[in-house]
């Protein structure tokens, strides 16, 4: 006899009033007076900043990219966009992560609008991230939607959870990469991508 599975309850999003109250609690916790003149509007400003920083949660990158491609005959050269600046936050400390993304794909039948490639990176980075997962997620999105012969993503970033706290190291940058298809298997194609990045850095 089959047993019915209980549906998990839908999570209720806190109201803006509840969120502002939480910010006031944090201000009091660090030793501030949330009622003093300079801080009275801080909870609202704080939420406004969060709406901007984490706007990526409202965007489906797969759907965004899926509206942009068009069919083409076989194209044998890579399409690369390098040095895409981004600002994000780490999920461990909600500290800023400032970096650049380099992305490329080797088309099969579909070419994407280049602005949509940037918007996909933006949609993923305007969330709380772990850089390794971020890199893999961007590559997988390109692979699933465009179905190319290969995808490459390299991300270089400075994590301010290391510069403003913890080990306090200012000059450390983290680099992560994901290579799929031809970028993983073909040294020539991978070198072409690395060359595109290096030319911009000269």
What average pLDDT does range 162-179 have in this prediction? 90
- So what's the pLDDT on residue 1? 41
For all residues of the chain together, what is the average pLDDT?
91
Nearest to 151 by CA among 141, 160, 164: 141
Give the span between the Cα atoms of 96 and 87, in whole angstroms: 7
pLDDT digits (tens, 9 = 90+) for 112-130: 989 999 999 999 999 999 9
pLDDT of amino acid 169: 82
Instruction: State how beta strands 150-159 and 174-181 pair.
Output: antiparallel
Full set of structural domains in the chain with CATH: 16-53 (no CATH), 58-201 (3.30.1130.10)
- 149 token code pair: 């012969």
Question: Is the CA virtual torsion 84, 77, 144, 111 positive or negative?
Answer: positive
Q: What is the pLDDT of residues 1-44, one digit of tens each?
A: 444 445 556 788 999 999 999 999 999 999 999 999 999 999 99
Cβ-based neighbours of 87, under 8 Å, separated by 6 or more:
53, 96, 97, 98, 125, 126
- State the pLDDT at residue 7: 53
- Residue 107 to residue 112: CA distance in whole angstroms: 9
Residue 202 banded pLDDT, cuts 50, 70, 90? low
- Minimum mean pLDDT range among 32-46, 135-149, 161-175: 161-175
**Taking 90 as the threshold, does the pLDDT of residue 74 lie above it?**
no
pLDDT at 2: 43
Distance CA 104, CA 8 (A): 39
pTM of structure: 0.89
Mean pLDDT value of segment 78-91: 97
């Amino acid at each position: 006899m089959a047993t019915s599975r209980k549906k998990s309850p839908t999570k209720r999003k806190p109201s803006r009033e509840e969120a502002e109250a939480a910010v006031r609690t944090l201000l009091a916790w660090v030793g501030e007076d949330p009622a003093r003149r300079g801080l009275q509007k801080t909870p609202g400003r704080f939420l406004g900043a969060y709406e901007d920083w984490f706007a990526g949660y409202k965007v489906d990158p797969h759907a965004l990219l899926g509206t942009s491609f068009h069919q083409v005959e076989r194209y044998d050269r890579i399409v690369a966009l390098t040095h895409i600046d981004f600002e994000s936050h780490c999920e461990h400390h909600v500290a800023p992560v400032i970096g650049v993304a380099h992305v490329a794909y080797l088309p099969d039948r579909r070419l994407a609008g280049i602005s949509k490639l940037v918007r996909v990176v933006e949609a993923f980075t305007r969330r709380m991230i772990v850089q390794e997962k971020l890199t893999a997620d961007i590559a997988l999105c390109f692979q699933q939607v465009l179905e190319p012969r290969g995808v490459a993503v390299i991300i270089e970033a400075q994590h301010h959870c290391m510069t403003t706290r913890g080990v306090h190291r200012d000059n450390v940058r983290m680099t992560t990469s994901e290579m799929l298809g031809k970028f993983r298997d073909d040294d020539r194609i991978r070198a072409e991508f690395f060359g595109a990045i290096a030319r911009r850095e000269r």
